[in-house]
Amino acid sequence: MLRNGLEPWHLLIVAVVFLLLFGSRKLPDTARALGKSMRILKSEAKAMKEEDGTQGSAG
Cα distance between residue 19 and residue 28, in whole Å: 11
Q: What is the pLDDT along the chain (59 residues), one digit of tens a residue?
A: 456 677 888 889 988 888 888 787 888 888 899 999 999 999 999 999 988 877 755 54
Supply the pLDDT for residue 36. 97
Q: In the chain, count of helices (H) and strands (E)?
A: 1, 0
Spans of all domains in the chain: 6-54
The torsion angle over the Cα atoms of residues 10, 16, 20 and 21, rounded to 10 degrees, is: 40
Tell me the one-letter amino acid at 12: L
Supply the pLDDT for residue 11. 87
pTM of the model: 0.52
Give the number of C-alpha atoms closer than 13 A to the C-alpha of residue 49, restricted to the C-beta side.
Answer: 6
Tell me the one-letter amino acid at 39: R
Supply the pLDDT for residue 45. 94
